[in-house]
Amino acid sequence: MSDARRPECQCEPGRRPMTLSFRLGSPQWLTDAQWGRLLALLAAHRPAVDELSLFTNEAMGWFGTMDEMARDVELMARRIREAHAAGYRSVGINVLCTLGHGDPVGEWSPEFRLPPTVGHDGQQATHCPCPNSVPFREHVKAKYQLFARAKPDFIWVDDDLRQSHHGVTYPCFCPLCLERFGHGAERAALVKRLENPAESALRRAWVEFNATTLESLCADIGVAVRAVDPTIELGLMTIGSSHSTHGGHALERWTAALGAVRGRPGHGFYWDDSPRGIYAKAFDVGRQTRDYAPAVTDVQYELENYPYVALDKADRTVLNEVYLAVMMGCNGAAFNALKSTATGTLDDYQSLLAAIVAERPAWESLVAHVAGLPALGFWPADDNALMGKRAVDASGWFWEGGVYNIQQPNALVEMGLPLTPAGCASCGALLAGRIAEAFTDVELRALLARGVLMDSLALEVLWARGLGELAGVRPGKRVLGGAVETLTAHALNGRFAGDNRDALMDAADNVRGLDLVSPGAAELARLTGYDGRDHGCCLSVYENPLGGRVAVSSYVPWRRLGTLGKRSQLTELADWLAYGRMPVRIDDFRRVAPFVRMSADGARYAVVLLNSTLDAAAPFELRVRATATKATLVTSQGSVPLAVLPGDGEVRVAVPTLGPWQPAVILGS
C-alpha cells in the first residue's frame, strides 16, 4: 500500500488505561456561582470523571485580542488549581479556535484583524485566517503560549485544524499561498488547471501542499507550548475523512509534528433522531485512530451532544457510542455534553452522569480485553488523499461525496457483516462508487487477489484501468427503473432461489446488467422488470487467475438489504469472499451489528453486538472463528458466562435476548 494508507497496519500498543474527561464550555467556569454548581454536579457522580478540559472563552469563529485572552488565562489558572484541589488528576485547556470553525452569522462577533483565508472561487472568509500568513502564525504561537502559562496539564488543539470549511469551503487560494505553492500567482488560472482532467499530478501536489501547511502549523504550536513548559501534554482533535480530504488528512504527520500524546477522534453525531448515524461516526473514528502517530497513547472519543439539549440524545445512545468507540481503537471518552449557557440548573444531566458511572466498569473490562487486538472484518476502502487522486470529469473537481462517499457500505454491518477500518487486518474489501480511482494498479491487483465485493461504478473504474477481466464481468445495459433483483439457483443462495428484492432503485444507483466475460463467472441474481422482462445478471461471483474471489453487485448493493433472502445470501456470499474466514457469522434473521477484535490465534477476542432496531432481538447463535472456549457477557450489572459449543474451526456462542438498541459485549478467552 502507499504511504497514505500505511498507518492502517498499526495496532494500538502502549495505550493508557481508560480516561473519562468532561469538556467544559466557558460559561461553566466564568463565574464562581456556575463553577460551584458544576463541581457539585460532578462530585455527585465522581467515578464518571477523571479529568476536566476547560474550553477557551471563544466562539466558533472568534479571534479576540491578547489582552482579552490574558484576562481569561488568569481565571483559567485559578480554576485549574481549584479542580486539582477538588481531586481531579488532570485539568487542561481546550483551545477552541486555531483556524476557526467558520464565519459567525450576526453582529455579535469581534472585529477580525488577521489576513483572511480565500476559497477557490475567490470568496474571502470574514473570520477565518490564512494558515500560512505571518501575522496569523505569530498570533497563534503567542495564543498557545499564553494558555500554556495557565499551567494546564494538557492542551487540546480543536478540530478546526483542517483545510476545508472555514467560511469558504476549499481554502486557501490567497496570493501568499499561491506563491508558496509555486504554480502561478493567479487564482483563477490555478483553479482552471485543477479542474482540468489531465492535471492529476497538480491536484495531488495541491492536496499535499495543504497537508504540509497543517503539518507546519502543528509544529509551530508544539514548539511554542514546549518553550513555556515542556511537561504540558499536547492533544489533537481530528475529524473523519468522510468530511473532506482536500487537506490530505495526514493525521500521523500532524500528530507527530505537534508532539501529541493525545488524540480525540470526532465527527458529527450530535443527537439520535437518526440513530443509525452512530455507525457512520464509529467508522470515521476508527479511520482516525488507525492513522494517529504511535506516540498517541491517550485516545479519547469525542462524545458530542451539541447543542447540549439533554433529551435530544438518549443516555443509552451515549453508552453505545463509547462501546463502539472502544472497538474502533479508543481507550477513553471526552464528553462534550453539558450546556453552554451560564445560568440555571444542571440537573438535566444527572441521569447521564449516573449512567456513565454504572457503565464504566463494563467499559474498562472491554478496554483492557481488547488491548493489542486488531479489528477484523471487511474493509470499506478509503484513502486520506482521495480528493487529490480521483479522476475529474465535466462536473469539475471542487466537490466531494456522492460516488466518492466512503460511508456507503456501512449498512452491511447491520446485516451482520463485520467491518474494519484497517485494510491490513481485513478478510476482504468493499469497493463502493468511484473510490477505486484513488488506488494504483498495483494496489488494485493486490485487492483483487483476495476477496472483494464491489458495485457497478467500481467495476467501471476497473475496466477503464484495464483490470476489468479480473472481475469476470463487464458493465452491460443500464436499467433506469422498474426492476427487482431475483435470486438464482446458485448454491450460495440456498433455499432462496426465486426470491425477489425491490429496493426502489433510482438513477443514482447506476443499475445495469452484467455481461459475463470470463469462464467460471456465475450469476447469483438477475434483474427482473416490473413487466416480467429479464434484464440480465445483477450479482456475479468469479474466482480470478490471481486467486481472488470477486463479487459484483449492480442492483442497489448498499441499502434496503433487510429481507430474509437477501440477508441470508449476503452472509453466505461474504463468507465465501473471505474463504470461510469471516471472523463472526450471524445466520439468524436479525438486524444486529457485529464489531470484532481478535488475536491471530483466535485465543482471545471481543465482540460487541448492537441491536439496531426498536424491536427486541430474540436469542440467537453467534458463530465465532476462534479457538477460545470461554465467553463472558459483560454488562453494567456484572459478568455472566455464556454457553459455548465448539465446532470445526469455530465456536458457537449463545447470545441472549437484546432489547431495542441494546448491546451485547462478549469477551472470549
Residues 441 and 516 in one domain: yes
Determine the pLDDT at residue 14. Answer: 59
* Residue 392 located in a structural domain: no
**What is the separation of C-alpha 487 from the centre of its chain, rounded to a whole number of angstroms?**
33
159 and 276 belong to one structural domain: yes
Condensed to tens digits (0 to 9), the pLDDT of residues 338-373 reads: 998 888 899 999 999 999 999 999 999 999 999 999
Do 601 and 580 lie in a common domain? no
* Alpha carbons within 13 A on the beta-carbon side of 232: 29
611 lies in a domain? yes
Same domain as 200, residue 76? yes
Q: Would you state the pLDDT for residue 594?
A: 98
Identify whether 394 is part of a domain.
no
Using CA atoms, how far apart are residues 99 and 516, in angstroms rounded to an integer?
Answer: 52
What pLDDT sits at residue 5?
Answer: 39
Of the three residues 539, 559, 585, the one that is the final residue of a domain is 585
Q: Clarify whether residues 664 and 517 are in a common domain.
A: no
Q: From residue 593, how far is each of 267, 315, 340 by CA, in Å?
A: 20, 19, 34
Q: Which single residue is written with the C-alpha cell 477460545?
A: 628
Look at residue 436 and tell me if it is in a domain: yes
Contact 34, 28 (CB under 8 A): yes
- pLDDT of 8 reads 39
Residues 414 and 365 in one domain: no
pLDDT of residue 111: 80
Q: What is the pLDDT of residue 33?
A: 95
Q: So what's the pLDDT on residue 9?
A: 43
Q: Is residue 391 part of a domain?
A: no
Q: In this structure, is residue 387 part of a structural domain?
A: no
Last residue of a domain, one of 585, 604, 638: 585
416 and 274 in a common domain: no
Q: Does residue 393 form part of some domain?
A: no
The number of CA neighbours under 13 Å toward the Cβ of 337 is 31
Q: Are both 469 and 561 inside the same structural domain?
A: yes
569 and 606 belong to one structural domain: no
Residue 612's domain is classified under what CATH number? Answer: 2.60.40.1180
Query: What's the confidence (pLDDT) of residue 341?
Result: 87
Domain range for 644: 592-668
Within a domain: residue 378?
no
CB 529 within 8 A of CB 535: yes
Provide the strand spans (E) within 451-533. Answer: 451-455, 473-478, 483-487, 500-501, 512-516, 522-529
Structure pTM? 0.96
pLDDT, tens digit (0-9, with 9 covering 90-100), for 65-116: 899 999 999 999 999 999 999 999 999 999 999 999 998 877 667 788 999 9
At 356, which CATH number?
3.20.20.80
Instruction: DSSP for 257-312, please give it.
Output: HHT-SEEEEE-----SSSTTHHHHHHHHHHHHHHHS-TT--EEEEEEE-TTT-GGG
Q: What whole-number distance in Å separates Cα of residue 306 and Cα of residue 178? A: 36
Angle at 405 between CA 383 and CA 332, to 5 degrees: 65
pLDDT single digits (tens) 446-488: 999 999 999 999 999 999 999 999 999 999 999 999 999 999 9
Residue 290 contacts residue 324 (beta carbons within 8 Å): no
Are 495 and 579 part of one and the same domain? yes
Answer whether the bond into residue 172 is a cis peptide, omega within 30°: yes
Backbone angles phi, psi at 666, to 5 degrees: -115, 120
Instruction: Give the residue ranges of the chain where pLDDT is below 50.
Output: 1-11, 13
End-to-end alpha carbon distance in the chain: 33
CATH code where residue 557 lies: 3.40.50.880
> Which helix (H) or strand (E) covers residue 256, if one does?
helix 251-258
Beta strands in 530-571 (DSSP E): 534-543, 549-553
Q: How many domains does the chain have?
A: 3
133 and 274 housed in the same domain? yes
Examine the domain organization and report whether 581 and 596 are in the same domain. no
Of 370, 393, 422, which closes a domain? 370
